[in-house]
């Protein structure tokens, strides 16, 4: 090598990074090069890429590791290795593998036939160990090694839970099985304790596998109060945060903390707020309050080192300012912030007041319905009310000042205002800006529906106060909720139940207001005259107080002008000028007539008006006519008839007319009738004579094509098409939704109830209390609730698939696979008498039944027993189909072999084996079984044979 080349190579070696070096081979030997320059000469029998600064190389038949300079850092002494990954490389010794670290130290002695790095997403790095189908674990950071001899290992929070061959769970510590009789998974907290369940009951476990409290309780629930476990135990069944029964509180050694029986506990959050750059966020500290059987409240505290309960006087006030807390002393409450006493302990009780600040609009965003999306000061109270004897005070939290004190008052607190009233005066507090300290005498609260302007949106709630009518010596005044004066009047003001908004404008006329008394379609004069005002270029209807009147949402407001012509104001603000003789209004459809012909019509669908002048389609309308609506997902059409044909209106406007004979329903004074309509035939031929209904409710339950009808016997449902889909004989009708979200009518009478589809198909009739359509993937299930229990029906086929006294049922999820999907494959049911049943909705092989009583079923292993005569049969449900595996097999056992559940039976002298996991039956005369290294082996002819190697040719 020339000197210059040598120097270049030295420089290169100094500069090169391991990731630039790639192995190459020449003449069967491997070296490393960077780009095209050889950095490490080919002298190895094999080489892997550099990883974590080291490359595995094979030299003299053994593997070691070199650095980028070609120096052998880990000597070549291994039979085989992998490259480094996550800090470790695998090495082989004999037929086992272990791990070494980058210094060549053995981190895990050879103990496995595979090692796999586990993606644990944030928790400690873990390596799964495998040996002949068994699993173990290596957690380097915690120096935890679990030898691979378990079915499954899970490591979390320093605890190692394993699944044993008998499918029980155990806890391994220091690679030693400490606990082995758990029947459910213990979930260790970060304090490394958990409740553990055995067949003897619940106890408290440490992650080291030590019983802190012996397992003997029927129920246990553990809450962590900081680092302190609060152990609740019961011998009256399971306990959980949602299932609280009579229980005792224990400390972590199992000593009883309090001898009274407790009935419930609640987490109490001590509120505060933290200021951040982006605003204020609430924080909370958790405290626990226990309620004893006698109603007393208790809280845990430490008396020296001893956990005890003492009486709780906690007020659970939400929305206090940062660091503020109520405190209790000598039977009275006060308020402190940090160590400052803001209010001395002299109040009987305190409460928070949340008010919407008008100033917060700038910081608020609203959704399309006007609901606030969020608010930076959401969750913070603005006032406290203080009660002391007969007096009530208001305390402003921000200024830390008592605003007023009132004696003998009544207190009304809502989330918007505080009203304090005594015989002398009444005060209304809204926020710190309006009405503060102002004495306002209130005549009454009135609750019109409140709409919105663009900037200030409030949720509409019936019955809530939206305006304040105040009276002083001179006049009445209306305030809005922000204290803004709307108007004053010396006379008593009467509001129409409509939306109001004050606007100024030029009065252009005065009219009488009407509304349509649907469905009789008569105009009824309303309570006050209205004025037509031109405001901002738009015509607005203004009442005598200058308020613009809008119709309610999805309704319309009609009026007559001085010429007795009718106009309308639609809720979208559109004004139809008064120039029509008469109107015909049906919910959703309005026709306006001149000279006996419809001159203008519109209908409304989902708040959108579709309208048009139809002068080009002169029609002679029948006033009894009922429009026919049809719709798909995108559009609604309205069909009606003219003297030249039918007219269709849709969101695309008025469509061409056509001539065709068809049926339509009409309302008459005697009820619904069905008419055949054909302009070239007889207009008035009744296809169905009017029914003698006592009452008709069209447009029932938002269904344009349905009318609820009442006969002398009861209620039924008729369609616009004239079909009586539910006989008029029921006391009550309600709508349910089937599995396809289609409506189903539930008709109830005193003796019999029924379910009907909207096409009139009777789904089920009988004596039942209620019905549901539970969601089950792959099946349309209808659950009928009878007085005996449940009756299950396949809604799609109408097939009854259970007895009528089912107490509980669960889906058979038989299509087990390695992925997340578990298919529904039938039902397993238990009736009120404890009998078991199986349902499968199709048949295969020689098994075909709807539902069948079975001796028992086991959904863990997916089999069931059937008794036929004196014989019992075992059926498997581990595939899509059920099939008979053992006949006449009263005596069988289930064992687990290498993760495979095997059911064995020997009653006919032949040892039969059914593989519950794979759904396979092996039959033969076997003497024994064992879990061999590669699977199940059977002892036959004095030899162990591998059962999965059965020759196909035989």
Partner 1 sequence: MFLINPAIGQKNIQQVFPLQWKSKIGTSTYRSNVVYSQDYLFIGSSGEDLNKDIDALDGVHILNPKTGKSFRHIQLPQLGDNDVNGVAVSEDLLYFGTDNDYFYCFNWREGKELWKYKTKNDCESVPALSDMNMDGTMDVIFNVQMDGVHVLDGKTGESIWSNDSLGSHQGNSSPALYDVNGDGIKDVIATGRPVRENLSEKWENYQWADLVYCLDGKTGSVIWVQEMEAGIHASPVLVETDGYDHPLLYIRSVSDVMAYNVVNGRIAIDMSYNGSFGSMAISKMGLVFFGNEYSYRSDKKVFCVDMSCDLLGECGYYWSDGGGIKIPKQESYKSYSINGNVSASPVIADVINSNKRKKNNVMQIGAEQKVEEVLIPSESGDLLILTEEGDSLMMLKLPAGSEATLFVDDIDGDGKLEIIQLGLNGYVYCYSTNSTSKVSWGSFRGQNNNGLF
Binding site for partner 1 (CB under 8 A): 22-25, 28, 46, 48-49, 56, 58, 63, 80-83, 90-92, 95, 97, 112-116, 130, 633, 740-741, 777-778, 815, 817, 819, 821, 823-825, 842, 844-846, 876, 879-881, 883, 885, 919-925, 940, 948, 950, 952-954
* Minimum distance from residue 667 beta carbon to partner 1 (Å): 33
Q: Pick the closer one to partner 1 by CB: 57 or 169.
A: 57
For partner 1, give the closer residue by CB, 450 or 886: 886
- Closest to partner 1 by CB, 415 vs 820, is 820
Residue whose CB is less far from partner 1, 499 or 841: 841
| Other CB atoms within 10 A of residue 954 CB | 4
Q: Give the residue with the Cβ less far from partner 1, 465 or 776.
A: 776
Token pair of 731 as six digits: 């006391």
Please name the residue that has the structure tokens 């002695």.
109
Considering the complex, state which of residue 92 and residue 189 has its C-beta at the smaller distance from partner 1.
92
Between CA 623 and CA 615 the distance in angstroms is 18
Burial 330-342 (b: 16+ CB within 10 A, else e): eeebbbbbeeeeb
**For residue 519, is the peptide bond before it cis, meaning its omega torsion is within 30 degrees of 0?**
yes
Instruction: Give DSSP secondary structure letters for 908-928.
Output: TSSEEEEETTTTEEEEE--SE
- Closer CB to partner 1, residue 740 or residue 849? 740
The H or E element that residue 228 is part of is strand 228-234
**425-432 LR contacts (CB < 8 Å, sep 24+):** 428/468, 429/353, 429/355, 429/383, 429/394, 429/403, 430/355, 430/481, 430/482, 430/483, 431/355, 431/356, 431/357, 431/358, 431/359, 431/382, 432/357, 432/382, 432/396, 432/398, 432/399
The sign of the torsion formed by the CA atoms of 187, 189, 193, 195 equals: negative
Q: How far is the CB of 940 from partner 1 (least distance, A)?
A: 7
How much is the CA Rg of the chain, to the nearest whole Å?
41
Rounded to an integer, what distance in angstroms lies between the CA atom of residue 717 and that of residue 761? 12
| Smallest distance from partner 1 to CB 33, Å | 11
- Beta strand ranges found along 743-798 (DSSP E): 743-748, 753-757, 762-766, 770-772, 775-776, 779-785, 790-794
Q: What are phi and psi of 11, to 5 degrees?
A: -60, -40
When the beta carbons of 581 and 796 are compared against partner 1, the nearer one is 796
Distance CA 922, CA 903 (A): 10
**Closer to partner 1 by Cβ: residue 88 or 557:** 88
**Around Cβ 253, how many Cβ atoms within 10 Å?**
10
Query: How do strand 144-150 and strand 134-139 relate by DSSP bridges?
Result: antiparallel
Q: Identify which of residues 621 and 940 has a Cβ nearer to partner 1 in the complex.
A: 940
Query: Shortest approach of partner 1 to residue 99 CB, angstroms?
Result: 11
8 Å CB contact between 828 and 836 = yes
| Min CB(924)–partner 1 separation in Å | 4
- The distance of closest approach from Cβ of residue 49 to partner 1 in the complex, given in angstroms and rounded to an integer, is 4
Nearer to partner 1, 531 or 636 (CB): 636
**134/664 with CB nearer partner 1:** 134
Name the minimum Å distance from CB 770 to partner 1.
23
> CA 531, CA 282: separation in Å to the nearest integer?
51
In the bound state with partner 1, the residue whose beta carbon lies nearer, of 63 and 188, is 63
Beta-carbon contacts of 643 under 8 Å, excluding residues fewer than 6 positions away, are 618, 619, 620, 679
Least CB distance to partner 1 at residue 897 (A): 16
Q: Which is nearer to partner 1, 78 or 217 (CB)?
A: 78
CB of 778 to partner 1, least distance (A): 4
Tokens of 187: 């979930």
Q: Find, among 208, 203, 262, 259, the residue nearest to 229 by Cα.
A: 203
Pick the closest to residue 518 from 567, 570, 564, 556 (CA basis): 556
Closest CB 925 distance from partner 1, rounded Å: 8
In angstroms, the CA 417 to CA 415 distance is 6
Spacing of C-alpha 908 from chain mean position: 53
| Rounded least distance, CB 782 to partner 1, Å | 17
Nearest-CA neighbor of 69 among 23, 29, 10, 26? 10
> Of 407, 403, 386, 390, whose CA–CA distance to 343 is shortest?
386
Closer residue to partner 1 in complex, CB, 100/381: 100
Max Cα distance, the chain (Å): 118
Can you name the residues that pair with 780 across neighbouring β-strands?
Answer: 775
Q: Smallest distance, Å, CB 639 to partner 1?
A: 24
SS3 annotation, 832-860: CCCCEEEECCCCECCECCCEEEECEEECC
Q: How far is the CB of 22 from partner 1 (least distance, A)?
A: 7
- The secondary structure of the chain in percent helix, strand, coil, rounded to multiples of 5, reads 5, 55, 40
In sequence order, what E strands does 5-86 have? 21-26, 29-34, 37-44, 46-51, 54-59, 62-66, 72-78
Minimum separation from the CB atom of position 796 to partner 1 (A): 11
| Tokens of residue 587, six digits | 């919910």
CB of 842 to partner 1, least distance (A): 6
Q: Which two tokens stand for residue 580?
A: 């029509």
Closest to partner 1 by CB, 829 or 913: 913
Which C-beta is closer to partner 1: that of 108 or that of 728?
108
State the nearest-atom distance from the C-beta of 113 to partner 1, in Å.
5
- CA–CA dist 201, 197 (Å, integer): 6
Which is closer to partner 1, CB of 786 or CB of 907?
907
CB distance 250 to 300 below 8 Å? no
């Amino acid at each position: 090598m020339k000197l210059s080349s040598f120097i270049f190579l030295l420089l290169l070696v100094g500069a090169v990074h391991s990731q630039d070096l790639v192995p190459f081979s020449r003449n069967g030997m491997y070296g490393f090069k960077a780009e095209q320059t050889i950095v490490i000469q080919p002298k190895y029998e094999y080489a892997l890429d550099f990883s974590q600064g080291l490359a595995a190389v094979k030299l003299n038949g053994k593997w070691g590791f070199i650095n980028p300079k070609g120096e052998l850092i880990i000597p070549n002494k291994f039979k085989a290795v992998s490259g480094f990954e996550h800090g470790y490389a695998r090495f082989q010794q004999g037929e086992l593998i272990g791990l070494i670290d980058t210094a060549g130290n053995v981190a895990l002695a050879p103990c496995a036939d595979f090692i796999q790095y586990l993606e644990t997403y944030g928790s400690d790095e873990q390596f799964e160990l495998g040996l002949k189908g068994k699993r173990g674990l290596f957690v380097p950071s915690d120096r935890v090694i679990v030898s691979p001899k378990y079915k499954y290992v899970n490591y979390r929070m320093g605890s190692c839970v394993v699944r044993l061959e008998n499918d029980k769970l155990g806890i391994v510590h220091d690679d030693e099985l400490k606990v082995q009789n758990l029947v459910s998974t213990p979930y260790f907290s970060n304090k490394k304790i958990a409740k553990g369940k055995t067949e003897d009951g619940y106890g408290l476990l440490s992650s080291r596998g030590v019983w802190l409290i012996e397992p003997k309780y029927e129920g246990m629930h553990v809450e962590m109060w900081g680092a302190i476990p609060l152990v609740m135990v019961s011998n009256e069944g399971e306990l959980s945060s949602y299932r609280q029964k009579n229980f005792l509180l224990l400390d972590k050694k199992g000593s009883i903390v309090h001898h009274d029986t407790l009935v419930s506990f609640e987490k109490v959050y001590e509120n505060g707020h933290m200021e951040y750059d982006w605003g204020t966020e609430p924080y909370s500290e958790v405290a626990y309050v226990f309620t004893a059987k006698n109603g007393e409240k208790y809280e845990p505290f430490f008396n020296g080192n001893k956990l005890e309960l003492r009486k709780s006087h906690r007020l659970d006030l939400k929305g206090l300012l940062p660091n503020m807390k109520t405190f209790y002393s000598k039977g009275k409450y006060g308020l402190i912030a940090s160590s400052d006493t803001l209010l001395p302990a002299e109040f009987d009780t305190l409460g928070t007041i949340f008010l919407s600040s008008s100033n917060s609009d700038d910081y608020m965003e609203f959704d399309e319905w006007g609901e606030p999306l969020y608010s930076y000061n959401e969750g913070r109270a603005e006032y406290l009310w203080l009660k002391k004897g007969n007096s009530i005070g208001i305390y402003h939290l921000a200024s830390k000042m008592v605003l007023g004190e009132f004696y003998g008052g009544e207190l009304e607190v809502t989330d918007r205002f505080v009203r304090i009233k005594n015989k002398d005066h009444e005060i209304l507090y809204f926020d710190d800006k309006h009405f503060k300290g102002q004495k306002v005498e209130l005549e009454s609260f009135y609750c019109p529906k409140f709409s919105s302007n663009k900037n200030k949106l409030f949720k509409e709630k019936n019955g809530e106060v939206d305006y304040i009518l105040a009276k002083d010596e001179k006049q009445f005044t209306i305030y809005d909720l922000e204290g803004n004066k709307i108007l004053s009047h010396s006379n008593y003001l009467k509001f129409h139940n409509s939306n109001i908004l004050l606007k100024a404008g030029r009065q252009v006329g005065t009219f009488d207001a009407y509304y349509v008394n649907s469905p009789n379609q008569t105009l009824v004069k309303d309570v006050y005259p209205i004025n037509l005002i031109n405001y901002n270029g738009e015509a607005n209807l203004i009442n005598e107080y200058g308020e613009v009147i809008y119709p309610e949402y999805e309704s319309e407001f009609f009026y007559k002008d001085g010429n007795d012509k009718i106009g309308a104001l639609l809720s979208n603000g559109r004004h139809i000028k008064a120039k029509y003789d008469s109107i015909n209004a049906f919910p959703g459809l309005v026709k306006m007539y001149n000279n006996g012909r419809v001159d203008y019509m519109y209908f409304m669908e989902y708040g959108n008006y579709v309208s048009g002048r139809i002068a080009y389609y002169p029609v002679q309308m029948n006033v009894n006519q009922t429009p026919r609506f049809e719709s798909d997902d995108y559009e609604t059409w309205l069909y009606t008839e003219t003297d030249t044909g039918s007219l269709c209106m849709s969101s695309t406007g008025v469509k061409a007319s056509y001539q065709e004979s068809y049926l339509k329903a009409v309302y008459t004074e005697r009820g619904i009738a069905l008419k055949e309509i054909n302009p070239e035939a007889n207009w008035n031929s009744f296809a169905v004579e009017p029914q003698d209904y006592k009452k008709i409710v069209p447009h029932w339950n938002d269904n344009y094509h349905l009318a609820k009808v009442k006969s002398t016997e009861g209620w039924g449902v008729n369609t616009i098409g004239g079909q009586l889909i539910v006989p008029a004989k029921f006391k009550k009708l309600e709508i349910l939704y089937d599995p396809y979200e289609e409506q189903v009518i539930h008709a109830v009478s005193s003796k019999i109830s029924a379910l009907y589809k909207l096409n009139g198909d009777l789904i089920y009739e009988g004596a039942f209390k209620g019905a549901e359509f539970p969601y089950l993937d792959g099946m349309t299930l209808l659950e009928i609730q009878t007085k005996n229990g449940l009756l299950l029906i396949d809604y799609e086929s109408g097939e009854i698939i259970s007895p009528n006294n089912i107490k509980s049922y669960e889906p058979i999820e038989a299509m087990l696979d390695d992925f997340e999907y578990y298919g529904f494959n039938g039902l397993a049911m238990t009736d009120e008498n404890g009998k078991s049943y199986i349902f499968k909705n199709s048949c295969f092989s020689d098994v075909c039944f709807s539902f069948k009583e079975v001796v028992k079923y086991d959904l863990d292993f997916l089999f069931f027993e059937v008794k036929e005569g004196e014989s019992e049969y075992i059926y498997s449900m581990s595939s899509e189909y059920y099939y008979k595996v053992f006949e006449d097999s009263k005596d069988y056992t289930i064992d687990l072999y290498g993760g495979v559940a095997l059911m064995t039976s020997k009653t006919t002298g032949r040892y039969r084996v059914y593989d519950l996991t794979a759904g396979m039956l092996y039959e033969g005369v076997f003497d024994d079984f064992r879990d061999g290294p590669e699977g199940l082996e059977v002892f036959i002819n004095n030899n162990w044979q591998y059962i999965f190697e059965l020759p196909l040719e035989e």
